[in-house]
Chains A and B, each alone.
Chain A
Amino acid sequence: MSTATRTPPTGTGRPGVPARPGAPGPAAPGRPPLRAPARGWALGRAGAWALAAAVPLLFLGTFFAWPVLALVGRGFLPDGALDLSGFADVFSRPRTWRIVGLTLAQGAIGTVLSVLLGVPGAYVLYRCRFRGVGALRAFVTVPFVLPTVVVGVAFRALLRDNGPLGFLHLDGTFTAIVAALVFFNYAVVVRTVGSLWQRLDPRPEQAARSLGASPARAFWTVTLPALTPAIVSAASLVFLFCATAFGTVLVLGGMRYGTVETEIWIQTTQFLDLRAAAVLSVVQVVVVVAALAVAGRARARRERALSLVAPGASGARPARPHGLPAVVTGVVLVLLALPLGALLLGSLRTGDGWGLDHYRALGTTGGRNALTVTVWEALGNSLRIAVDATLLALLVGCLVALVVSRRPRAGAARRAVGVLDGAFMLPLGVSAVTVGFGALLTLGHPFGIQTDLRSSGILVPVVQAVVAVPLVVRTVLPVLRAIDPRLREAAGTLGAGSGRVLLGVDGALAARSIGLAVGFAFAVSLGEFGATSFLARPDLPTLPVVIFRLIGQPGADNYGMALAASVVLAALTAGVMALAERFRGPAGGEL
């Protein structure tokens, strides 16, 4: 304690701080003398970052950009010269316009319904507190993690003529497709809007009430504008999912209804018209990029000028739900349960009553040898492929998240990071069918490889990883971005090298979200159907491929097997996601 007796002349002196400029402090014991780092150090550091960016770029360039661009090229440049006659030809067919119209109508109606039902759901499940709310939130998520083929099969089971709702005669109608899309996407709206609503500061609404606004007016003029960015963001995602829906639409729509996505598949596999498929892929890319641009803008605006608090903080207790949203949500929850129940009941229904016959049949190749392998073998294939795809997606996705989470000082590097951020999101938008089809066309012998990759089976996990990478990035990146850079600086001043900072700060804080990402990637890979349907070898089919083949075969037994296999696949993906959800932290990404 300094009891310096000097009188500060100007009053700027601080007690307790001896003013001894230039006086050398005692040398810290045991410290090595300072040395300038080796010259290569800075170069090595830059090189490491460049490598971290190059690996994912190379991966996505080879397995995503090249196939997609080659496909687009096939539409524009059939013989090496620019030729738009393919477009003229495809767009002169009334069928094309019908498909494009159906795609947009499905997207628009599905989105509007999902938002109208999802916003009350977000309020009830995220803003109110009552017994069992946690279980209901988990239940709402189940349809979203179900493979699309399973969703289609479940709705068929519900709506077919002798199904529980067969009297409505909705099987194979446009209404059925839209209902299935809303079933699938309801959770997207509830979760995106709900997670924001939960953290929304309740005080602006209270300020409005104190200024004489009724609860309804306070909602319309204060709460809803605050939620709008989240609603727009959710809506554009839902539109994307609806407009690129493949498995569900293929199962439910048959040949009468379809999207651009199913049409690409039909043109390729049924009519063998590769040029038309290429043209449709271009159309698909345009629609998707436009939707993504809207989503990106909304996301950028989302947290601007919003005051957020910890859930349940700021003294306002979550209230009991108001009547109307509670009723709407109750009805929706029942409707969500119906297809799942129909699927389960259907799988237990045998020709002469109830039993586990269809589950026993999973060890066979189906009636009249519908399959080349048993369903259990297909499940084994799915699991093996999913492990490979998850590892790949995790490696690439984490590198992307790491690179994109940095804010370099140099303007050019900063812009490059921004471009990377957008580029790695493209696989989320470009349809899986386009990727699978493109890979089928281009990746026969890349880089002069002798064996045909298409028949080696290696492309299936690779392409599934391409589909899963954006999900991994979107899960890990927000957590990395939320790390205060001063935390890394503090670690640095405490003597941690950049490697230790990476492990001890970034790695430790993002560990939970990486766990969640593993779950996402694994579940997506298990259920992936669009790209896999092109690339899976006939003797190594995955479970969704087998299910689709089974429902295309005649015979009640094959149909029952398809239901049983769907139940197995649904239970597996839901289980994986339930495990992964345990890793969700306070900033668990956007989905």
Chain B
Amino acid sequence: MTGSGAGTGLAVRDLVVRYPGAGRGAPAVTAVDGVTLDVPVGEVLALLGPSGCGKSSLLRAVAGLEPPASGAVTWDGVDLAAVPVHRRGFGLVFQDGQLFPHRDVAGNVAYGLRGLPRNARAARVAELLDLVGLPGYDRRPVTTLSGGERQRVALARSLAPRPRLLLLDEPLSALDRSLRERLADDLRRALVATGTTALFVTHDQDEAATVADRVAVLSAGRLLQVDAPEALWRRPATREVAEFLGYRTFLVAGPGPAAAADAETGTLAVAAGGWRVLGPADPEPAPAAPVRAAVVAERRTRRGRAEVVAVLEAEDARVTAALPAAGAGAPEPGDRVRLVAEEGAVAVVGG
């Protein structure tokens, strides 16, 4: 096997991970069910799926923390089955950092740098703290760090020994929303700057799209689709994928030029919050944009903006729609309105 796959990076073939049942005689739980996946060198791949879909188990199997029931994990064509965790050279970042509480920041970052001379080690630590935006934090006890700072240190610690592959297990999900968005950008920047190959587990679609070059959607232990973020959101392979990506409304092929044109390739899906009430003063939408007649059911506010909940007449589906910018003549419950799907919020399922 050696040599034939040099430089090809991570390959996962028909991987199955099973956990023994909770009690005696209880059936085993299959967490990962025959997943095949490639991560070429230099690429960042996000594993996206709801909680309990097996994405963390897949990650742990790649790291060597979980023995696979069958299938193979290889790096550059070399089977890793017999390689213990610490010889794989795969870094791992946990959801809550898992910094060593008895070491300071520099001590944590330098943990994987054994064998380097003292100066080189110090230089590498400083370089990485710079990279994650924490210069001068060397001597800080890790217990004094905020949640975001801890994750930055954890990232620096994992990047320090220049891992072949970096495994990130929901590294941002313990943080609050605004911090998460900022850190996702910083994470992408750090991975690209260091040219790190990475496998990134998340249940947050936006995070996956921000950080990764390609996104793999996982559900109930099976891989549903792997694609670049734009392609994935444009053309989800199945309705299940589309639903998980945040598409709420699936349009039936009805009258109208847009639906007729797309009926041959697949159903149209519209994201939650992708509708807008078409006001009388608005220009007529582009012919490709789906337009539907609907009846307003109620009015409400969300994040300070007024919106309406309306029922599409053709699909009998409840959707929320933003009100036109000029608020004059807002529709009341019972009013009949025309809704248009925003251009970026429409996908073709199974395209």
Which positions in A face B, CB cutoff 8 Å? 3, 5, 7-8, 10-15, 201, 203-204, 206-215, 218, 221-222, 225-226, 305-307, 315-317
| Residue of B whose beta carbon sits closest to that of A213 | B86
- Residues of B11-55 whose CB lies within 8 A of A: 19-20
A10: chain B residues at CB < 8 Å are 304
User: With A3-B333, A204-B98, A221-B111 in contact, is A13–B301 under 8 Å at CB?
Assistant: yes
Please tell me if the beta carbons of B304 and A212 are within 8 angstroms of each other in the complex. no
User: With A11-B304, A208-B111 in contact, is A306–B101 under 8 Å at CB?
Assistant: yes
Which 4 A-B pairs rank lowest in CB-CB distance, beginning with the nearest?
A11-B304, A211-B112, A210-B92, A305-B101
B127-151 CB contact bits vs A (8 Å, 1 = yes)?
A: 0000000000000000100000000
A216 to chain B, nearest CB (A): 10
| Residue of A whose beta carbon sits closest to that of B20 | A317
User: With A210-B91, A222-B100 in contact, is A15–B300 under 8 Å at CB?
Assistant: yes
Apart from the given pairs A3-B298, A214-B86, A305-B102, 16 other A-B contacts in the complex at a CB distance below 8 Å: A5-B299, A204-B98, A206-B63, A206-B92, A208-B100, A209-B65, A210-B88, A210-B91, A211-B160, A212-B87, A212-B89, A212-B112, A213-B86, A213-B111, A222-B100, A315-B66
Enumerate 27 A-B pairs (CB-CB under 8 Å) in ascending A order.
A8-B301, A10-B304, A11-B305, A12-B304, A14-B301, A15-B301, A201-B98, A203-B98, A204-B100, A206-B85, A207-B92, A209-B86, A210-B63, A210-B91, A210-B158, A210-B167, A211-B111, A211-B161, A212-B161, A213-B86, A215-B84, A222-B100, A225-B102, A305-B143, A307-B98, A315-B66, A317-B20
A307: chain B residues at CB < 8 Å are 96, 98, 101
Interface centre among A14, A201, A210, A307 (most CB of B within 10 A): A210
B7 to chain A, nearest CB (A): 22
| Residue of A whose beta carbon sits closest to that of B333 | A3
User: With A212-B89, A212-B112 in contact, is A315–B306 under 8 Å at CB?
Assistant: no
B284-317 CB contact bits vs A (8 Å, 1 = yes)?
A: 0000000000000011110111100000000000
B92: chain A residues at CB < 8 Å are 206-207, 210
Q: Give the CA-CA distance A225 to B301 in the complex, in Å.
A: 53
Please tell me if the beta carbons of B91 and A211 are within 8 angstroms of each other in the complex. yes
A306: chain B residues at CB < 8 Å are 101
Q: Give the CA-CA distance A413 to B115 in the complex, in Å.
A: 55
Interface centre among B57, B112, B332 (most CB of A within 10 A): B112
Q: Give the CA-CA distance A13 to B306 in the complex, in Å.
A: 10
A222: chain B residues at CB < 8 Å are 100
Is B56 part of the binding interface, using a Cβ–Cβ cutoff of 8 Å? yes
Please tell me if the beta carbons of B94 and A207 are within 8 angstroms of each other in the complex. yes
B132 to chain A, nearest CB (A): 16
Q: Give the CA-CA distance A400 to B231 in the complex, in Å.
A: 68
B72-116 CB contact bits vs A (8 Å, 1 = yes)?
A: 000000000000111111111010101111100000000110100
Q: Give the CA-CA distance A210 to B161 in the complex, in Å.
A: 10
Q: Give the CA-CA distance A221 to B102 in the complex, in Å.
A: 9
Interface of B: prevailing SS: mixed
B163: chain A residues at CB < 8 Å are 210
B102: chain A residues at CB < 8 Å are 225-226, 305
A316: chain B residues at CB < 8 Å are 65
B56: chain A residues at CB < 8 Å are 315
| Residue of A whose beta carbon sits closest to that of B300 | A15
Q: Give the CA-CA distance A225 to B142 in the complex, in Å.
A: 15
B19: chain A residues at CB < 8 Å are 317
8 Å CB contact of B301 from A11, A209, A210, A226: A11
Q: Give the CA-CA distance A329 to B298 in the complex, in Å.
A: 70
Q: Give the CA-CA distance A212 to B92 in the complex, in Å.
A: 11
Q: Give the CA-CA distance A2 to B90 in the complex, in Å.
A: 55
Q: Give the CA-CA distance A12 to B305 in the complex, in Å.
A: 10
| Residue of B whose beta carbon sits closest to that of A306 | B101
User: With A212-B86, A213-B86 in contact, is A11–B167 under 8 Å at CB?
Assistant: no
8 Å CB contact of A8 from B66, B143, B304: B304
Please tell me if the beta carbons of A3 and B299 are within 8 angstroms of each other in the complex. yes
| Residue of B whose beta carbon sits closest to that of A12 | B304
Q: Give the CA-CA distance A221 to B110 in the complex, in Å.
A: 13
Q: Give the CA-CA distance A218 to B112 in the complex, in Å.
A: 11
Please tell me if the beta carbons of A210 and B304 are within 8 angstroms of each other in the complex. no
Is B239 part of the binding interface, using a Cβ–Cβ cutoff of 8 Å? no
B211 to chain A, nearest CB (A): 19
Q: Give the CA-CA distance A15 to B99 in the complex, in Å.
A: 42
Interface centre among B85, B94, B154, B167 (most CB of A within 10 A): B85
Is B276 part of the binding interface, using a Cβ–Cβ cutoff of 8 Å? no
Q: Give the CA-CA distance A218 to B114 in the complex, in Å.
A: 13
Please tell me if the beta carbons of B157 and A211 are within 8 angstroms of each other in the complex. yes
A13: chain B residues at CB < 8 Å are 301
B318: chain A residues at CB < 8 Å are none
Is B180 part of the binding interface, using a Cβ–Cβ cutoff of 8 Å? no
B338: chain A residues at CB < 8 Å are none
| Residue of B whose beta carbon sits closest to that of A204 | B98
A15: chain B residues at CB < 8 Å are 300-301
B329 to chain A, nearest CB (A): 13
A225: chain B residues at CB < 8 Å are 100, 102
A208: chain B residues at CB < 8 Å are 100, 111
B90: chain A residues at CB < 8 Å are 210
B303: chain A residues at CB < 8 Å are 11
Please tell me if the beta carbons of B94 and A212 are within 8 angstroms of each other in the complex. no
Q: Give the CA-CA distance A7 to B330 in the complex, in Å.
A: 11
Is B222 part of the binding interface, using a Cβ–Cβ cutoff of 8 Å? no
Interface centre among B100, B161, B304 (most CB of A within 10 A): B100
A403 to chain B, nearest CB (A): 31
A11: chain B residues at CB < 8 Å are 301, 303-305
Is B60 part of the binding interface, using a Cβ–Cβ cutoff of 8 Å? yes
A309 to chain B, nearest CB (A): 11
A130 to chain B, nearest CB (A): 14
Please tell me if the beta carbons of A212 and B114 are within 8 angstroms of each other in the complex. yes
B301: chain A residues at CB < 8 Å are 8, 11, 13-15
B82 to chain A, nearest CB (A): 15
B304: chain A residues at CB < 8 Å are 8, 10-12
Please tell me if the beta carbons of B111 and A209 are within 8 angstroms of each other in the complex. no
Interface centre among A204, A215, A218, A317 (most CB of B within 10 A): A204
B168 to chain A, nearest CB (A): 11
| Residue of A whose beta carbon sits closest to that of B141 | A305
B322 to chain A, nearest CB (A): 14
Please tell me if the beta carbons of B86 and A203 are within 8 angstroms of each other in the complex. no
Please tell me if the beta carbons of B98 and A209 are within 8 angstroms of each other in the complex. no
B111 to chain A, nearest CB (A): 5
- Residues of B300-351 whose CB lies within 8 A of A: 300-301, 303-306, 332-333
Q: Give the CA-CA distance A12 to B333 in the complex, in Å.
A: 22
Q: Give the CA-CA distance A11 to B300 in the complex, in Å.
A: 11
B122 to chain A, nearest CB (A): 17
B309 to chain A, nearest CB (A): 11
- Residues of B196-211 whose CB lies within 8 A of A: none
A14: chain B residues at CB < 8 Å are 301
8 Å CB contact of B98 from A207, A212, A218: A207
Q: Give the CA-CA distance A226 to B101 in the complex, in Å.
A: 8
B155 to chain A, nearest CB (A): 12
8 Å CB contact of B94 from A7, A203, A213: A203
| Residue of A whose beta carbon sits closest to that of B94 | A203
A204: chain B residues at CB < 8 Å are 98-100
Q: Give the CA-CA distance A5 to B308 in the complex, in Å.
A: 12
